Structure 1
């Protein structure tokens, strides 16, 4: 399905860019691991271009064009794009899922802020839960309860990422903490960017994010039982590798500004062993009623898209089209500024 050379390129991209996923992927069967590596490479490279590129608007607009080409069956001549196009064809990947990811990255491109925890969950739904739903598609799972729990896991993992990166994001002028939390303590966003400190109030916000993540980690677990037997250890591994970051952050007093928390290779190996045991345990235990919990309101559209794929071509909504217009305006402004700089140099 995927050209071996393209797959090797994707594997290297993930090995260098996502240690936790690379570790967890070792426990997935090859039939899921290989397309998952290709999927994560496409998503991760796109995310990195937006996060760390000099021209965020241009990076998002470029991703929009790459997605259009992949779904037209004429991907850009690059390993990750060719591999992603192969996944679309083989697994009938609902376009609404990568479109959701694109929308989340577009929000990054316009440096959108989030007033409430619900809005942070909406962002997390797009940049992480959408990937969880796509992973279910790669396992050929379209059960709405399994999809709901997979989306819980995706949101939990993204909240963990946000909690871990508060300091790093602030120093880069990014903010994913709910702005109403800052308002509650009278902290101005620009003042926080100018001098991010691990104050008791900021640590309390990190703790609140991790508490929500922990709730969703536990809510996600019953869904793993509904996945193919061979895939369960790998998904448990992803759950435990990310959760371990939050636990280590808690042991350090929820300070994610003074240093960036990460887990060691030895710790990850222990978590892989734990994941194998938990996968065996969940297979023989009675199914929890939690599996039937309604999806988070913020992810319901993802569950519906994956469980009931619409064969009609997707029509981008006014919301994302408005974001694209903002990005295009920013991109033109950046290009004009560069032109003037060169002209006056």
Structure 2
């Protein structure tokens, strides 16, 4: 979908065409092409909620419109659509509908998109794209017009990149707990994505958050190392206790994705959920007792 839109000079008509193809597939009347027939078959076989690919198309539409974002929450809302929605769709394809796992998948998607934004700030400016929150620019006394015309790696700009990286790293850590709830055969690839993208964030940090004229790159040696670590983490997770981080609330901006993926689905609960629920109920009762 991304290429179908990005490679077109006039993006909005391309988006409308994609929307029509998706609507046809969900109606059971896909276009007579291998891709459309396969998509329609996948939708039927997995009961893929339409709200998920719809969210992706909405994010692409925001890009086509050149939308700007006032706050970090706005940037995360955009990331929810172009990245977290993909993570939730992958979970559905894997047969995972657990709310906690879906929330952590969203964490990973948002983290990866924030890393992309931090890495590509200079390149995006040359294409008249801007994902830095408007309020951050105002706080630094930088006008959008000046930044897009003459992007410079000033201390203030590097501080903005740092804020994006810090938030992404927080979400990478939260995401790990959810990967252990995926099918074992799927875990290495997802762990690899987590480590490689977090590695890019690390390179950005090592180059003092200067991404205006320098692109953060990782080496083949690093990637092979992360692949090995991914295999290790995938199978060691089978012997380790479940992290309590799995129960962290979803980001508010991704809640609609979690709700869409679990609507009408009988949730399969892990044994750890059954163990922790009574404990949480006791804690809640204790809090109510002391605040009454």
TM-score of the two chains, using structure 1 as the length reference = 0.74
Does structure 1 residue 223 correspond to structure 2 residue 178?
Answer: yes
Tell whether the 8 Å contact from 1:50 to 1:108 is kept in structure 2 after alignment: no
For 1:254, the equivalent position in structure 2 comes to: 209
Q: Which residue of 2 aligns with 1:332?
A: none
Contact 1:144/1:307 (<8 A) preserved: yes
In structure 2, what is the Cα distance between the partners aligned to 1:175 and 1:83?
A: 35
Q: Name the structure 2 match of 1:143.
A: 98
| Cα 1:83–1:241 shift into 2, 3 Å | farther
Q: 1:87 aligns with which of 39, 42, 51?
A: 42
Does residue 160 of structure 2 align to residue 205 of structure 1? yes
Q: SS state of the match for residue 299, structure 1?
A: helix
Q: Secondary structure of 2:237's match?
A: helix
Provide structure 2 residue ranges, at least 5 long, that are not aligned to the other structure. Answer: 266-292
Say which SS state the counterpart of residue 111 (structure 2) adopts: helix
Matched, 1:291 2:265: no
Unpaired segments of 5 or more residues in structure 1? 1-45, 311-345
Task: Give the whole-Å Cα distance in 1 for the aligned partners of 2:214 and 2:10.
Answer: 27
Partner of 2:169: 214
**Corresponding residue number in structure 2 for 1:188:** 143
Contact 1:133/1:151 (8 A) holds in 2: yes
Q: What is aligned with 1:176? A: 131
Cα distance in 2, alignment partners of residues 183 and 81 from structure 1: 45
- Which is worse superposed, 113-122 or 275-284? 275-284
Aligned length: 265
Matched, 1:100 2:55: yes
- Give 1:153's aligned residue: 108
**CA distance in 2: counterparts of 1:115 and 1:269, whole angstroms:** 39
Q: Which string of whole-angstrom CA distances, capped at 9 and with x for unpartnered residues, describes residues 80-132 of structure 1?
A: 33332222122111111001111111111111100000111101011111011
DSSP-derived class of the 2:253 partner: coil
Counterpart in the other structure of 2:258 = 303
Corresponding residue for 1:72?
27
Q: Secondary structure at the match of 2:214?
A: coil
Rounded to whole Å, the distance in 1 between the matches of 2:108 and 2:22 is 25
CA apart distance, 1:231: 1.4
Distance 1:161 1:99 in 2: 22
Q: Residues 126 and 309 of structure 1: is their aligned pair in 2 closer, same or farther, counting only changes over 3 Å?
A: farther
* Corresponding residue of 1:318: none
2:221 pairs with one of 247, 266, 281:
266
Give the C-alpha shift of residue 282 in structure 1.
Answer: 1.9
Does 2:5 match 1:50?
yes
Residues in 1 aligned to 2:125 and 2:215: alpha-carbon distance in whole angstroms: 13
Inter-partner Cα distance in structure 1 for 2:264 and 2:64? 28
Deviation of the 1:221 alpha carbon: 0.8
Given that 1:153 and 1:217 are in contact with CA atoms closer than 8 Å, whether structure 2 keeps it comes out as: yes
Structure-2 residue corresponding to 1:242:
197
Give me the whole-angstrom Cα distance separating, in 1, the residues matched to 2:89 and 2:125.
Answer: 30
Scaled by the length of structure 2, the TM-score of the pair is: 0.87
Pick closer, same or farther for the CA change 1:221–1:168 going to 2, 3 Å. Answer: same
| Matches of 2:204 and 2:35, distance apart in 1 | 33
